[in-house]
Amino acid sequence: MDKRRVVITGMGAVTPVGNSVEEMWKNIRSGVSGIGEITKVNKDDYPVSVAAEVKDFDPSNYIDRKDARRMDPFVQYAMVASHMAVEDAGLEINESNAERTGVWIGSGIGGMGTYESQFETFQQKGYRRVSPFFIPMMIPDMAAGQVSISLGAKAINSCTVTACSSGANSIGDAFKVIQRGDADVMIAGGTEAPMTKMSFAGFASARAMSLNEDPKTASRPFDKNRDGFVMGEGAGILILESLESAKKRGAKIYGELAGYGSTGDAYHITSPAPEGDGAARAMKQAIEDAGMQPSEIDYMNAHGTSTELNDKYETHAVKTVFQEHANKLAISSTKSMTGHLLGAAGAMEAVISLKAINDSILPPTINYETPDPECDLDYVPNKAREQEVNAVLSNSLGFGGHNATLVFKKYKGE
């Protein structure tokens, strides 16, 4: 059976560098960082002092204020980004297509802020004072659930939880739903709101986060002096649609989702497999799924967390997969500007990948100052570059040994 072609017809984003796709992309291509001092928890309680927080976020254009109070921020971010994406796609969900329109939105940790605040209430005042909305506010699937309810999407409604691969896995899983004919349209992506006391405590205790006190230079992927990731938050949403459905309604097309790879390291709960073995297998799988050769990939949006092992092993994985093409491949980590959005990272980076294709711009890796002999490829240092982009590979690698790779390409008709 021929696999159905899947295109992207709408995009939405809530990020540390802007609360719309256009604002985010303007800042990304200009090398503007969204990282600042932590304001959402007391930074004096931690060795970490910087984060990439969402700023000036107002969900009231899309969510009733009363309803918003019953949603954790990770759900609010997904709701706003999903409504933006549906609007952008010019998609009307009604009786004629609701049962062929689904939702698949991932989150790594869900409503941890809600859990913390309700647990404090329980400790101080007992169970009767815990909100009856506590469980549905907290569980990670509720972003997909609320988006489905709000927009009336009645096909498959799911959520992938694979740590920092959640957003990319959700897009890939939704892609396969359309390919095999189980839906015509999927609202897919990832969302995260980890600016909470215990999130900072856990990651700081694990010594995974940057201790650099200068917000603008703290995230420095592939740089020799990198010292950990910077926590970020937000959501990225794509409207995936069968090519047939998109053409039938005359939708604009941002690009084609051509390949998806997903593998397990089977190695360690937090460390990536040596030499990036799992990442390499995911990349190979995605390129093969797209029916392409490694040499056809023009740009790679790396996972590039700014941690010692991730950046080194991801670089090794690229060399394994791309061989001699590795030295010609443009690579960047936009986490240098956005921080690491955990379960939303791959979804936001999918949006960035599609903008790179549409605008023929390679976004930069900022703060790349001191080359690392272990990371010696072309990371598009510090300044965006104009170049035709026909195909992009985007990586997401998560705790638990989850690896997800997406391949997007320019839409060129039949």
Catalytic machinery residues: 164
What region, left, alpha or beta, does residue 378 occupy, with left being phi > 0 and alpha being psi -120 to 50 degrees? beta
What region, left, alpha or beta, does residue 411 occupy, with left being phi > 0 and alpha being psi -120 to 50 degrees? beta
Structure tokens at 118: 């309700």
d(CA 318, CA 271): 18
Asked if residue 209 lies in contact with residue 228, where contact means CB atoms within 8 angstroms, the answer is: yes
Helix (H) or strand (E) holding 406: strand 402-409
Nearest to 279 by CA among 253, 231, 314, 306: 314
d(CA 374, CA 29): 26
Nearest to 112 by CA among 40, 199, 43: 199
Nearest to 149 by CA among 103, 80, 108: 103
The DSSP string of 188-225 is EEEEE---SHHHHHHHHHTT-B-----GGGS--TTBTT
d(CA 171, CA 286): 13
CA dihedral 242, 83, 162, 296 (to 10 degrees): 40
d(CA 367, CA 98): 46
